[in-house]
Amino acid sequence: MDKRAGLVIVVLVSACATVSSPKKPDDGFVVRVRRDAAAVSRHLPTSVDETWAEVPGAFRALGYQGGAVTDTAERVFLTPSLLIRGRLYPDAANSAYMDCGRAPAGGAAADEYEVSFVVLVRVLPAPTNGTTLQVAVDGAARRRAENADVVSCTGTGRIEKMFIPRQVRLSARVVQTDTAPERFQAILTLRNTGMDSTRVTFGACSFGLRLYRDSSFDRPPLWDNRPGTNAECILVGYVVTLGPNQQRDRVLSSGVLAIAPAPGRYVAAITWRPSDKAPIQNVAAGRVVIP
């Protein structure tokens, strides 16, 4: 017997997913989510349109595929029903991420049962200014036996918080120095604009410097010091902790301009990639003159 109550049939999600999920049509998928599924909610200073535009990229960066619900006026983005095989993440047991109650023997059901779940993100106008972002994880667990009862699962908050923007703002600049042979330093500034402390993780290949002819960045750079795609790099090896309204500078490694580009006027951008799955971002760093 399915003990989950108040289920909603959510249909026609406008994307295909390639994760471990039930078979679905090519133009969408169908999932069931409880009406009363608990959500982690945050107020963001950005507009609804700006926040909504970032949601698909957040799913991709975290390795979750999904799509936007098309049969409602609400802005809702969600995954298909995902089946956990083994551990969801290698750093901790599944019960660290999913709360499915206790098994008869006393252990965490999330660690002993077969668990499936859906991640849902809803973007709403805030009562005053900005946006309310809601993230819910709704799941079910079943003992690995025929005719076993199904129990409801909720997220513990760890998955939900992955989808909430850290509210870290990026800015960049290139400054002239007296140190040869570099002559310039490329600096990326990370600022926490939120009311809570946050951590930013990155790897050795997360940063780079590119020089362009103009500020559109729509053509290949004229000069680029990012390592090649086959370079061996630490994907996540550094952590920066930022308190509320605190900022830190990240200076590119020594010798970033030791192999000097051709003399001329350029528009600089620092490349930033917060994870190995995230797209590379160009952060405008101003104009540079190479003598």
Provide the whole-model pTM.
Answer: 0.57
Q: Are 108 and 155 contained in the same domain?
A: yes
Q: Are 189 and 104 contained in the same domain?
A: no
Among 147, 162, 177, the domain boundary falls at 162
Structure tokens at 131: 């946006």
Q: Are 175 and 192 contained in the same domain?
A: yes
Place of tokens 């779940």: 117
Other CB atoms within a 10 A radius of the CB of residue 24 amount to: 15
1 occurs within a structural domain: no
Structure tokens at 256: 């970033």
pLDDT band of residue 75 (cuts 50, 70, 90) is very high
Among 162, 177, 210, the domain boundary falls at 162
Q: Are 236 and 142 contained in the same domain?
A: no
Per-residue pLDDT at 58:
86
The total domain count for the chain is 2
- Residue 38 to residue 98: CA distance in whole angstroms: 12
Per residue in 17-34, pLDDT tens? 333 333 343 456 777 788
Structure tokens at 56: 């698909």
Per-residue pLDDT at 6:
33
- Residue 44 to residue 41: CA distance in whole angstroms: 10
Per-residue pLDDT at 96:
93
Contacts of residue 78, Cβ cutoff 8 Å, sequence gap at least 6: 10, 13, 31, 33, 66, 67, 69, 118, 119, 120, 121
What φ, ψ does residue 112 adopt, rounded to 5°? -115, -25
Asked if 79 contacts 64 with a C-beta cutoff of 8 angstroms, the reply is yes
54 occurs within a structural domain: yes
Q: Are 120 and 136 contained in the same domain?
A: yes
- Residue 142 to residue 159: CA distance in whole angstroms: 21
Give the rounded percent of residues in the chain with a pLDDT score beyond 70. 78
Per-residue pLDDT at 231:
54
63 occurs within a structural domain: yes
2 occurs within a structural domain: no
Reduced 3-state DSSP string for 2-39 = ECCCCEEEECCECCCCCCCCCCCCCCCCCEEEECCCCE
pLDDT band of residue 109 (cuts 50, 70, 90) is very high
Q: Are 77 and 119 contained in the same domain?
A: yes
- Residue 23 to residue 4: CA distance in whole angstroms: 22
142 occurs within a structural domain: yes
276 occurs within a structural domain: yes
CATH number of domain containing 195: 2.60.40.2360
Q: What is the span of the domain harbouring residue 199?
A: 168-290
pLDDT at 145 over 80: no
What is the mean predicted confidence (pLDDT) over 183-191? 83
What is the mean predicted confidence (pLDDT) over 187-202? 80
Asked if 137 contacts 160 with a C-beta cutoff of 8 angstroms, the reply is yes
Among 138, 162, 186, the domain boundary falls at 162
pLDDT band of residue 5 (cuts 50, 70, 90) is very low
Asked if 81 contacts 137 with a C-beta cutoff of 8 angstroms, the reply is no
pLDDT at 56 over 80: yes
Per-residue pLDDT at 278:
61
Per-residue pLDDT at 85:
84
Give the rounded percent of residues in the chain with a pLDDT score beyond 90. 25
